[in-house]
Structure 1
Amino acid sequence: MYDAILERLLDGSTPPGSSLGIDSLARELEVSPTPVREALVQLEHTGLISRVALKGYRVAAPLSSEQLAELFDMRTILETAAVERAVSQVDDLVPELRAAHARQVLCAHRVRKLRGADGRPTDFSDLREYFAADWEFHLTIIRASGNRFLLKTAESLSAHVHRLRQTADHGTTDLEQAVDEHAAILAAFESGDPERPLVAMREHLAAVARRVSAAG
């Protein structure tokens, strides 16, 4: 239920401010109200929805420009720290990072094939798989840092990354650029130069921030 409702939040079918009724969602999804209620409680913690007294749940507004700046500041602090620690594990990391990037490339290819006349994907399940593959590339590096608290913090940010995509035209506008920038990060790790991955990650996050600001 969590994934089913999340898909509605991110594919544009339930825009910010929309009501989310437990009973109506249960009828549409053909389930009892209990799992819907539980999913909405989980989603409230992500910030994607909010509970309004006596009115139920509503889809939250997209991240503000100030919130976006804070999110990218946090990601830059966290992910550059992870890169600095992961370079010592480059022999183990590179094969896993290659696999993660290959999956992202495949998912990006599927999304491109499903784009409609307006340039947006016509099947959100493939787009959701692409989002997961994109984030998994980053998590692969963070796991290689060997710091469980960095990883736990990154996992807690995943919901806010969902909100970032909600803000930036559902995350479809920078698919090609993100794939290319991840390839540059992979090449930097493959080079054996401990400084290049740090530079590549900083450039990637800065580029994503610029694209999100332009889209907003």
Structure 2
Amino acid sequence: MTAINPTFPISSTAALEARAISCVRGERELFSNLDLQVFAGQCLHIRGENGVGKTSLLRLLTGLASPETGEVLWNGNAIKKEASEYHSKLLFLGHRDALKEDLSALENLRLYAAIDGITLSEQDAFASLWRFGLKGREDLSVSCLSAGQKKRVLMARMLTRRAQVWILDEPFNALDAHAVQELQALIAEHLESNGLVVLTSHQPLAIPGLRVLDL
């Protein structure tokens, strides 16, 4: 097991906060006056039926979209005013895996490390892929991997990105039972290092520090 994740500073105030945010898509209001707080060491599990606005809420929390009303804050500062600072600490994984299909798993990790401005040694890159069952597949084109194996590449990216805030949209999709346990263990490690997680999932989760928000 590779020990890449740093321990993040403990904050005595809410690290990620939404104040009275509302979301409108087309002519439909998905939710309004929504408040939430996520502290270091906590995981917020957002639940709800399809179409209630789970993905839209995640996009608001990342800053990829703006709320109709209200604001999202990182350590007390509006993320729209501190975008660079916030995004440097953020990892967002949406429905699309965002992997480069023509590159190998190893090349994907090294590419995203370069984009993120992170020094990632070849040893750490290999160790991360091996941890999630990709030994022997490091140099295969991602296009040759199964959906579950692509998710495992993303799990390696979560480990190597070193972001304090993880926002994950249905991260357990396409994972078998063993990989689900591995991802929950990875999230638990992140929380122990004072990271924080916001995720959506339709399945019950067993993660320490878990809180639930039903939309």
With the length of structure 2 as denominator, give the TM-score of the two structures.
0.24
Could you say which structure has the larger radius of gyration? 1
Asked which structure has the greater RCO (Cα within 8 Å, sep 6+), the reply is 2
Higher strand share: 2
